[in-house]
Amino acid sequence: MTNAIEFSGVQKSFGNTEVIRGVDLAVEQGEIHAVIGPNGAGKSTLFNLVTGRYHVSRGRIELNGENITNRAPHDIFRKGLSRSFQVTNIFPRMSVFENVRCGVLWNLGYHYSFWHFVNRRRDLRERTESILEQTGLASRRNVPAGLLSYSDQRALEIAVTIAGGASVVLLDEPTSGMSSSETEQAVALIRDISATRTMVIVEHDMGVVFDLADRISVLVYGKVIATGTPEEIRSNAKVQEAYLGTEAA
């Protein structure tokens, strides 16, 4: 089976600084793949490259075997890849319900239609409701997104991301800044979502990572230094030295 995402020799420079220094990485179909690494390692940049937000300087990225290098973000989304943002990135003036509905629109085929009424479409409402239920936001549906609590905003970030029915979902630090009980909820949600999707998550909380991930890649200073199962990563000497060791200290 082709990999869900495949990076081959991907390199990214901002001016003279090389931030991604030749990454080869394969995300398998259906797995939860965690990307870990110290601050500034280039994890978010990797997401920005695969989703078309940044231009790839060199190399090639494939989604389900199809070359998507340097395609426009909306094109890549339409091919079934969706992402959340490390810093919450939603529509603050719209209600929670409307935010999620915006995420649903393209996938249900409404595209740029100006001849359908959004509040008359049953499929739109039902899909939106089910996403709200799944993400635990149903009771907050009418609240303007900008007024939500932090953890609810993070949940909405995920809700908007999965609303479009993407088969591959990238989450950038979904639990950052959350209390332990909120983190627990978020982990349950991510596990629930992953049942039908391939997931890539960037996460600093090692508890979450080792709990959720099928496989882990360690990114240090723009290079993947190891990829493997949680056990392999835990016992990997290079990782110990470069990253996990410092974390434990």
Partner 1 sequence: MTIPGAKQTSVGALVIALLIILPLIVNSGFALTVMSQTGIAIIFALAFNMLLGQGGMLSFGHAVYFGLAGYVTAHVMNGMANEDLPYMPVSLIPLVGGVAGLFFGILIGFVSTRRAGTAFAMISLGFAELATGLTLIIIFFFNGEEGVQTDRWVREEWFGITYGPDIQVYYLIAVWCVIAAIAMYLLTRTPFGRMSNAVRDNPERVQFIGYNTHRVRWLAFSLSSFFAGLAGALHAVNVEHVGFETVGLGQSAVILIMVYIGGTGHFAGPILGAILITLLNAYLSDISPAWYLYLGLIFVGMVMFAPGGLAGLIMMHDPIRRAAPHLLMRMAPAYAAAFGTSLVALVGCIGLVEMAYFLSTTVSRNTALILYGIALDAADFWPWLVCVALAAAGALGCSRTYPRLAESYGTAMHEARRAVAS
Tell me which residues touch Mg ion (CB under 5 A). 44, 86
* In the complex, least distance from residue 40 CB atom to Mg ion, rounded to whole angstroms: 8
Q: Does 16 interact with ligand ATP (rule: CB under 6 A)? A: no
The reply on whether position 221 binds partner 1 by CB under 8 A is no
What phi, psi does 185 have (nearest 5°)? Answer: -60, -45
Query: Interface residues for ligand ATP in 69-128 (CB under 6 A)?
Result: 86
Q: How far is CA 213 from the centre of its chain?
A: 13
DSSP sequence for 213-246: -SEEEEEETTEEEEEE-HHHHHT-HHHIIIIIHH
Output the smallest distance, CB 87 to ligand ATP, in A.
Answer: 9
Q: In the bound complex, what is the minimum distance in angstroms from residue 202's beta carbon to ligand ATP? A: 7
* CA–CA separation, 3 and 25 (whole Å): 10
Cβ proximity to ligand ATP, 152 vs 172, nearer residue: 172
Angle value at C-alpha 170, between 165 and 144, nearest 5 degrees: 70
Q: 47: helix, coil or strand?
A: helix
Q: From the CB of 189, what's the least distance to partner 1, in Å?
A: 19
Burial class (CB in 10 A: 0-12, 13-18, 19+), 201: buried
The position carrying tokens 């609303």 is 163
Site string for ligand ATP, 39-68 (x = CB under 6 A): xxxxxxx-----------------------
Q: Applying CB under 8 A, which residues contact partner 1?
A: 51-53, 72-74, 77-78, 82-83, 85, 89-94, 98, 101-103, 105-107, 110-119, 160-161, 163-164
